[in-house]
A and B are shown apart, each in its own frame.
Chain A
Amino acid sequence: AQTVTQSQPEMSVQEAETVTLSCTYDTSESDYYLFWYKQPPSRQMILVIRQEAYKQQNATENRFSVNFQKAAKSFSLKISDSQLGDAAMYFCAWAGANSKLTFGKGITLSVRP
């Protein structure tokens, strides 16, 4: 069975600074996808970034980028120039060929003004 582990329950970052959120996963499949979702207090899950496992190049979306280490099964999210609006819960998720998303437990990110 696939598992996604987010070992840090909480992190805090100063506004305008950079923060990295960690995620590891376990799978025996070779073709899969990885995601980071943001969940504000409204509880709506918002896609931040996605990475296809077959791509060696790390995905980037504006201030968000990932460090995908396939051999180590690691998928961390870097948020640059942190903003107050980045404060939320962040979930790492995995999906295989059956399109079923498996989520980690999430991490609460706070941004200090």
Chain B
Amino acid sequence: EAGVAQSPRYKIIEKRQSVAFWCNPISGHATLYWYQQILGQGPKLLIQFQNNGVVDDSQLPKDRFSAERLKGVDSTLKIQPAKLEDSAVYLCASSLVGVGVDTIYFGEGSWLTVV
């Protein structure tokens, strides 16, 4: 079974530039998550999708971050304009339904450095 795929793996941009990350969840997984992990901290949920609808985006900085999940499969997370404090690993994860019922599987993450 293929895992959660993310790209690009590494990205370095200057502040005020934009960046986009792509995620392909495990086939058949209805729930997709984007987490932000700053160095030395645990991951923090940015947004959760159920199929192509948003379940929770309470911690997404909506003035600069946006995410979409077209057709309930792939997802894209965009940051525009980027700030220095956005330097982090962005982890995509998926599960069949929800963590209370099933296991969440994580991708290897997209490392972002903002200079």
Beyond A47-B103, A105-B40, whether A100 also contacts B56 by CB under 8 A is: yes
How near does chain A come to B74, taking the closest CB pair, in angstroms?
19
Q: Is the interface of B mostly helix, strand, loop or mixed?
A: strand
Q: Chain A CB within 10 Å — which of B33, B35, B104 has the most?
A: B104
The answer, yes or no, to whether A45 is at the interface (CB within 8 Å) is yes
Choice from B43, B89, B91, B100 contacting A33 with Cβ under 8 Å:
B100
Tell which of B18-26, B64-72, B75-83, B106-114 binds the partner: B106-114
| Residue interface bits B86-108, CB-to-A below 8 A is 1, else 0 | 00010101010011100111111
A74 vs B106: C-alpha distance when bound (angstroms): 25
Report if A97 contacts B (CB, 8 A). Answer: yes
**A105/B42 contact (C-beta < 8 A), A95-B99, A100-B56 known:** yes
A95 lies within 8 A of B43 (CB): no
The answer to whether A98 has its CB under 8 Å from any CB of chain B is yes
| 11 cross-chain CB contacts under 8 A | A4-B42, A45-B106, A95-B99, A95-B100, A99-B31, A99-B55, A99-B98, A101-B45, A101-B104, A103-B43, A105-B41
Chain A positions near chain B (C-beta within 8 angstroms): 4, 33, 42-47, 50, 91, 93, 95-106
